[in-house]
Amino acid sequence: MARPQLRPTDAELAILRVLWERGASTVRQVHEALADTRETGYTTTLKLMQIMADKGLVTRNETARTHVYSAIAGEEQTQHQLVRDLVDRAFGGSAAQLVLRALSADGTTDAELREIRKLIDDYREKR
């Protein structure tokens, strides 16, 4: 039986973003990167990363004295999973409803609308 996909918490996503951007990193490196945007103690970062390893979100290389962590799933794969989950839970499986809600929110710029149009056009050409 396939293992269910885990949905990372907000704190876990922040750590994953660091790992996606920096690549394999120690807890200290992740903690320092997070310090710019979050006030979190080192031991909290360590505990979160240990939990993430237990959950299968990251791998831990223990060959050196300082353990090095890497994200198991890539950023795009994780985003896809989270969007699919959101579409299923909040929009009854309708991606169109998600897009309509996103576009009706304030702040969509003309440049973003052009980019969305290009994505739609590219998607149509691939079909």
Residues 59-96 have pLDDT tens digits of: 999 998 899 999 999 999 999 999 999 999 999 999 98
pLDDT for res 99? 87
Decide which of 2.40.50.430, 3.30.565.60, 1.10.10.10, 2.60.40.4070 is the CATH code for 10-71: 1.10.10.10
How many residues in the chain? 127
Q: Where are the domains of the chain?
A: 10-71, 75-126
- Does 2 have pLDDT greater than 60? no
Token readout for 82 is 């989270």
Over the stretch 21-35, which tens digit does the pLDDT of each residue have? Answer: 999 999 999 999 999
pLDDT for res 82? 93
As a whole number of angstroms, the distance between CA 97 and CA 126 comes to 22
Residues 6+ away with beta carbon under 8 Å from 26: 66, 67, 68, 69
pLDDT for res 5? 62
pLDDT for res 31? 97
| Averaged confidence pLDDT in the chain | 91
